[in-house]
Amino acid sequence: MRARHPFPRIWLMTDPRFGDGLLAAIRCLPFGSGVIFRHYELPGRERRALFQKIRRICRQRGHLLVLAGNDRQAVHWNADGFHQRSSGRSALLHTAPVHDLRELATAKRHRADIVLISPLFATNSHPQQRPLGKFRFNSLAALARPANVIALGGVTYRNASGLNPHVVYGWAAIDAFRTRRLD
């Protein structure tokens, strides 16, 4: 069944850079946030075991947990949704990464519920990638409707507060959650 609406406005993207601090970072998210589980580098069993640990925390904290992968794997792993550039129709929450017009067209064609447009700002995750900047970001975001737009890439607590709520539904990050604890 499709996840509840409204969707979370704050999303944590998992990344190996969290190291042993990943579970603590998820516990510190505001209640009802979202987590997109990636960790592609882990062997299958280790990836699944880490996913299960994160799922328990997410259930306790009211977070949505989205699996980077296809909808069948997300159902099998008992995720709330899947994060993928393209997919067939699914009853699960569908989030999709968008870096350009081509990826946005694919996400819209497959009716993604949420598009994560990136990189808005310079980011440690992809230092070689040129940021979109606010003008190009806002142009993509305007074309993304009816999908909800999540800003990603160099987003911090400080600059997230300056995002236009008429254009951006919420924000996602890695480093913002690695360097600041939430209480």
pLDDT in tens, 125-148: 877 889 998 899 999 999 999 999
User: Which residues are registered as beta bridge partners of 151?
Assistant: 117, 171
Question: What is the model's pLDDT at position 125?
Answer: 81
**Do 96 and 115 form a contact (C-beta atoms < 8 A)?**
yes
Q: What angle do CA 79, 112, 171 make, to 5 degrees?
A: 80
∠ CA 78-84-90, nearest 5°, is 55
**What is the tens place of the pLDDT at every residue in 68-95?**
999 999 999 999 999 996 666 778 999 9
Tell me the pLDDT tens digit for each residue of 18-41: 999 999 999 999 999 999 999 999
User: Residues 92, 79: contact at Cβ < 8 Å?
Assistant: yes
Please answer whether residues 170 and 10 qualify as being in contact, where contact means their C-beta atoms are separated by less than 8 angstroms: yes
State pTM to two decimals: 0.91
